[in-house]
Structures are given as structure tokens and as C-alpha cells.
Amino acid sequence: MNPVDWIDEIKNNEEEALTSIYKMYRDDCIYWLQKSYSCTRDEALDIFQSTLVILYDNVKREKLTKLTSDMKSYLMGIAKNKALEMIRTKKKSTYLKPLNSWVDYVNEDQEEAILEEQLLAASKALSRIGDPCKSLLQYYFYQNKNMEEISELMGYKNADTAKNKKYKCLKRLQLLYYRHKD
């Protein structure tokens, strides 16, 4: 039996792939984090979940195109960094910043840092815009799908219709962004 190509699976069937990976490596990873970094179970679980989100992001942004080791080692590599980051944060302050905002993580990647408030405002704007704009913008700007694929996915007449729709959605997003920014 051939080993599963997880990267391909995440690209084409993300829900099922992530669920499978989650179930497969969850217990081992949590146990390892608790043992190696003296995390509580909740902290270890949080790190593991963040690890999977990072894996997903790396695949979608084509930062990860091929695994050089097995999936478990790859996940543990990310989890290790997350655990060390958590320890550093704990040492600095008794206040542990929640991991559930991905604004900081996204900002770390940027050549020029964007103001945190701006990024938060843009993220909130997307949550307010609703579908179909939200899905369309996510398909185009995050999943890197082209207009043909999007028109098929969203049931538009053709790629041009999707393109016009995207422009309108972007305009609406900008309006909402300004509202949240101010």
C-alpha cells in the first residue's frame, strides 16, 4: 500500500484530510508535548490544533509542497516551536495571549508589518460580509483558485461573471474594513 500523500489530500479534500491527520496524531502529539515541555493538557491540545492550522496554511500557500520526513515529524517540528513560543510568553508575562487570533501569525510572515488593528479590522470585515462574497474572496485570495474554477464552484455563468462579482465584493469588503478600522 502506498503511503498517503497528505499534501495532495489537503489540497483536494481538506476537511477529510485534516480530520484524519487530527485523529491520527492527536494523542501522540499531546502526550509528547506534555512530557517534553511540561504543558497542561489544554495547552498541549491548543498547540496541536494550532500546528494543524499552520500545516494547512503552509500547504495552501505552497510553502510546503513535499514532505521530506513523515507527517508526524513535521507536525512535531511545528509543535515544538509553538511550545517554546508559549514557554517564552509565559516567562515574560503571567498573561497568556490566546492563540486563537491568527493576526499575529499572519503578520509575522510579512515583509512589511501591517498594523495589528488594520489586520483585525480586515479579518472582521470578512466575517461581516457574508456569502457568497466571503467564499469567493477566500477562494481567490487564499486558495489561489482561478476564475474558471470559482465560477464552477459558485455556479456563475462564466469566469467574467465571477471576475465582476469579485471586484464588487472587494469594494464591499473595503467599505466594511474602513468601518472597523475607524
Q: Which residues bind another protein (CB under 8 A)?
A: 18-19, 22-23, 26, 45, 49-50, 52-53, 56-57, 99-103, 105-107, 110, 114, 118-123, 125-127, 137-138, 141-142, 163-164, 167, 170-171, 173-174, 177
Which residue's CB is nearer to another protein, number 47 or number 91? 47
Output the nine-digit C-alpha cell for 91: 516567562
CB of 1 to another protein, least distance (A): 26
Q: Give least dist CB 175 to another protein, A.
A: 8
For residue 89, the minimal CB distance to another protein (Å) is: 17
For another protein, the closer of residues 5 and 16 by Cβ is: 16
CA 25 to CA 47: how far, in whole Å? Answer: 13
**Least distance in angstroms from the C-beta of 152 to another protein:** 20
Looking at the Cβ atoms of 91 and 97, the one nearer to another protein is 97
